[in-house]
Structure 1
Amino acid sequence: MGDFSGGRTRRGVLLVVFWMLGLISLSCAARLSVSKQKLQVQKHLNRLNKAAVKSIKSPDGDIVDCVHISHQPAFDHPFLKDHKIQMRPNYHPEGLFDDNKVSDTEKPKQRSNPLTQLWHMNGKCPQGTIPIRRIKEEDVLRASSVKRYGRKKHRAIPQPIPQPRSADPDLMNESGHQHAIAYVEGDKYYGAKATINVWEPKIQQPNEFSLSQLWILGGSFGEDLNSIEAGWQVSPDLYGDNNTRLFTYWTSDAYQATGCYNLLCSGFIQIDSEIAMGASISPVSAYRNPQYDISMLVWKDPKEGHWWLQFGNDYVLGYWPSFLFSYLADSASMIEWGGEVVNSEPDGHHTSTQMGSGHFPEEGFAKSSYFRNIQVVDDSNNLKAPKGLGTFTEQSNCYDVQTGSNGDWGHYFYYGGPGKNPNCP
């Protein structure tokens, strides 16, 4: 018999060599993949982070860049290359500056206090510039992909389930998204306003968020939905911390390919030099302590057709050009106000991510979170009380909403909750 041991040895050596070559090949591929991703991220950061006239370090670790108003991300849009910036709206809604004129006897004993943004402690941006929160590499890397950074996750929209309203809030009935809202529908709306109580809800998982906002909605509940949104949010995934931050969002195709948070894509044109989208709000409300709130107004300019955003009585932040939208180029068909959380637990179970203050509506002022002085803008550009105000929540044992009205707060509601509790699995 011949000696096969030498052949077996050679085959063994060859197998080891091939195995090592395979590992080297995989290692090279992995390094190339990481290198390609880093290049993509860097290119995206170069697009987002515009050259700054001045930079301000915020106490919370943010860097706010003061960017020349004509160099902001909006003007990356091909339709805005020759756009002339409109530095003020042609019209404000009628009644905007006198809707809170009430007698001293009607005023509440506890008035809410003014708010600011943390970065203001270390400086302001000069006139002719706008403040933009600088995006870091780790911000983009937290997203599922470079393309998806700054966008809401695309979700299929099912047929509306039977509810005391025609559609699900945020127009989704996807497991994980929970809401407690008030809404109006059935008319043409040209804007909405609310004063929103500001809290810092606790988020259990880093991929969850909690927000309080108003929605301006147009179109069907399919893939052509138009939405403009503004309010405050806590989103560790988007910002890398648990701070309460001012935010906006828009989409013209149900969150598929258009739109983004804040200034993370071209679209919204900012004109204000003092308020930074996505920057931390300070101070925030605390249980049985002083309460803080912010006033948000979105309305359609009757002359130009753009949708304008105002923060408080003093800050007209900018506008969404009308060409961004299909249905909202005319008017909105639904307005929503309220809270939303993302819950990452499957099969109807809940985490303890809080909405609003984390307390149920029946606890009332300084304990539960509120929206007050909620109004809509009608076709005559008048601010007026909403007619036929409805409410909706998927699971009232987890998050709930209760409406009311009085002389000073007009139409208002308390909302929110703790999520997981003995009555909420």
Structure 2
Amino acid sequence: MRKVFHFSAMRSTMFILLWLLITVHGGSLSRHKILEVERKLKYLRRHSLKTIESEDGDIIDCIDINKQPAFDHPALKDHKIQMAPTHNSAKEEVTSGSRTSRNGNNSKSGKMMNESLSVTSQVWQKSGKCPKGTIAVRRIRKRELLKAHSIEEYGRKKPSFSHHQHGQVNKNLDSFVQLKNHSKAILFTVGYRYLGGKADLRVCNPFVEKDDEYSTTQVALLTGPHNDFECVQSGWAVNPSVYGDRQTRLFVYWTADGSRESGCFDLTCPGFIQTSNEIALGAAIYPISIPGDLPYVITIYIFKDPYTNNWWVQYGEKTNIGYWPPELFETILYNAQSVEWGGEVYSTTIGQTPHTATQMGNGQFASVLSFSSAITRMRIHDNSDVLKIPELVYDYSDEYNCYDVWLMSDYIDDPQFYYGGPGRNPKCP
């Protein structure tokens, strides 16, 4: 009798789990999709040589570097891995004196941000190391793939361009141009041929209201029209739909068509070629800055190798994570037209009432200098051999009652950019 009862209970439990599985995310899943997801996950793990279980619940697979997901891209079938950049313009040319923000207005003066503590640590590193000849790959979770509209769309941003006519913008928001479902608070520079961009990004853990929303802070290089741009970017993100939780994680992202059909976060689609066995894209960063406490930062440097045209991502001051090969692009493979630093929030309630309560940065407005999110040591690499402070920069916010910006540049040698906000608040209902 005991064995029969045990089997019956097990069968009931399995039935409940199956029912939950096929009704996930408010809808039903076909058996075909479940099998498709299982095949995809098995395919991604086929070249794992070692598995590391992180204390935060992540699983890191140590994948043979020559059999990584990037080579599933048709354009990279015969690509030969570049293990290290041939040229790294790490030298800096720092010019003293004040800088001028857009329109020639002086920025608010004040105390410089407290000296920051550089971070290169990820939680999973406490549990083990990937051997040489492999790359550290965060395992994609089954439930995140099942929630995605399709396997092809998993890990991709929604296109941000739209054409708003004057008068159609939410009158409760002081914004003339709003990106569709996206809100940005950035500092950017244009006017040159850019071969690199760098900055120290204060690491925060913003509140993200819904599972299909995200909040990111990044360094980005872009080229092309607003509705069909090419872009490479890297920074930190809180993105439940991709990572399944609300931890702050390191990410890279790329697109060759304004996120319409190409590009994705990390290694969720073929494209980015990883060379590091020490850093896992999508893995949690620690420690995290807390307002009024020690300001921890990550250093992100994206630069183009002049000999191979690969766009490299450097984490910290010496760890090269990997690169985007030129085969992915049509125009940015030569140079970028703009460099951006700042935050981005995605939500379907951007520009609507009620507005999303998803925070940008650490949730504080930029005017609260001692407590808000900050980006410092912003550098560009143009045709010269050194990194420079950009001569002319512009600050921009889609919704400055929701997320705002502030550039401090007068009376300090190195400009500091403050940004962020709480999202929904009395001024952004």
Assess if the C-alpha contact under 8 Å between 1:50 and 1:73 holds in 2.
no
The 3-state SS of whatever aligns with 2:188 is: strand
Spell out the pairing of 1:317-336 with structure 2 (5 A cutoff): 317-336=321-340
What whole-Å deviation, never above 9, does each CA across 1:163-198 have from its counterpart, x for those lacking one?
Answer: xxxxxxxxx943431111001112211110010000
Partner of 1:86: 82
Assess if the C-alpha contact under 8 Å between 1:344 and 1:350 holds in 2.
no
Spell out the pairing of 1:164-243 with structure 2 (5 A cutoff): 173-223=178-228, 225-243=229-247
CA distance in 1, matches of 2:251, 2:260: 19
CA distance in 1, matches of 2:344, 2:51: 33
Residue of 283, 302, 316 corresponding to 2:306: 302
Partner of 1:290: 294
Which one scores higher on RCO, CA 8 angstroms, separation ≥ 6? 2
Task: Provide closer, same or farther for how the CA distance between residues 151 and 114 of structure 1 changes in structure 2, counting only shifts above 3 A.
Answer: closer
Partner of 2:137: 132
Partner of 2:102: none
CA distance in 2, matches of 1:415, 1:187: 24
TM-score, structure 1 as length reference: 0.83
Task: Provide closer, same or farther for how the CA distance between residues 408 and 305 of structure 1 changes in structure 2, counting only shifts above 3 A.
Answer: farther
The 3-state SS of whatever aligns with 1:363 is: coil
CA distance in 1, matches of 2:216, 2:68: 26
What whole-Å deviation, never above 9, does each CA across 1:101-148 have from its counterpart, x for those lacking one?
Answer: 9xxxx9976442434100011111111111000112101012121221
Task: Provide closer, same or farther for how the CA distance between residues 327 and 414 of structure 1 changes in structure 2, counting only shifts above 3 A.
Answer: same
Question: Which has the greater radius of gyration?
Answer: 1
Spell out the pairing of 1:89-168 with structure 2 (5 A cutoff): 89-96=85-92, 110-158=115-163
Residue of 372, 379, 383 corresponding to 2:376: 372
CA distance in 2, matches of 1:408, 1:262: 36
Query: What amino acid is aligned across from residue 341 of structure 2 in structure 1?
Result: W
Spell out the pairing of 1:262-411 with structure 2 (5 A cutoff): 262-345=266-349, 347-365=352-370, 367-405=371-409, 410-411=414-415
What whole-Å deviation, never above 9, does each CA across 1:240-270 have from its counterpart, x for those lacking one?
Answer: 1000000011111111221111011111111
Partner of 1:51: 47
CA distance in 2, matches of 1:153, 1:109: 36
Assess if the C-alpha contact under 8 Å between 1:205 and 1:344 holds in 2.
no
CA distance in 2, matches of 1:328, 1:135: 29
The 3-state SS of whatever aligns with 2:251 is: strand
Query: What amino acid is aligned across from residue 209 of structure 1 in structure 2?
Result: Y
Q: Percent identity?
A: 40
Query: What amino acid is aligned across from residue 391 of structure 1 in structure 2?
Result: D
Assess if the C-alpha contact under 8 Å between 2:160 and 2:181 holds in 1.
no
Instruction: Give aligned pairs, total.
Output: 380
| Runs of 4 or more consecutive aligned structure 1 residues displaced over 6 Å after TM superposition | 98-101, 159-162, 406-409
CA drift of 1:80 comes to 2.2
Assess if the C-alpha contact under 8 Å between 2:192 and 2:382 holds in 1.
no
Query: What amino acid is aligned across from residue 192 of structure 2 in structure 1?
Result: D
What whole-Å deviation, never above 9, does each CA across 1:16-46 have from its counterpart, x for those lacking one?
Answer: xxxxxxxxxxx9xxxx961111122122223
The 3-state SS of whatever aligns with 1:217 is: strand
